[in-house]
Amino acid sequence: MLNRQPTLTHPAVTLRPATADDWPALFAAAHDPGIWEGHPAHDRWQEPVFSAFFDDGLASGGMLVAAEPATGVLIGSSRFDLGRAEAGEVEVGWTFLVRRHWGSRTNHIMKALMVGHALQNVERVIFLIGETNIRSRTAITRIGATLTDRQMTAQLSTGPVTHLYYSIDRAGFAAGPLFPLWEQRIS
pTM: 0.94
* Tens place of pLDDT per residue across the chain (187 aa): 899 999 999 999 999 999 999 999 999 999 999 999 877 888 999 999 999 999 999 999 999 999 999 999 999 999 999 999 999 999 999 999 999 998 899 999 999 999 999 999 999 999 999 998 898 899 899 999 999 999 999 887 778 989 999 999 999 999 999 999 999 999 7
Helix, strand, coil abundance in the chain, percent, nearest 5: 35, 30, 35
What is the domain partition of the chain in residue ranges?
A: 8-179
CATH number assigned to the domain with residue range 8-179, chosen from the 4 options 3.40.630.30, 3.40.720.10, 3.40.50.300, 3.90.700.10: 3.40.630.30
Q: Which residues share a beta bridge with 90? A: 125
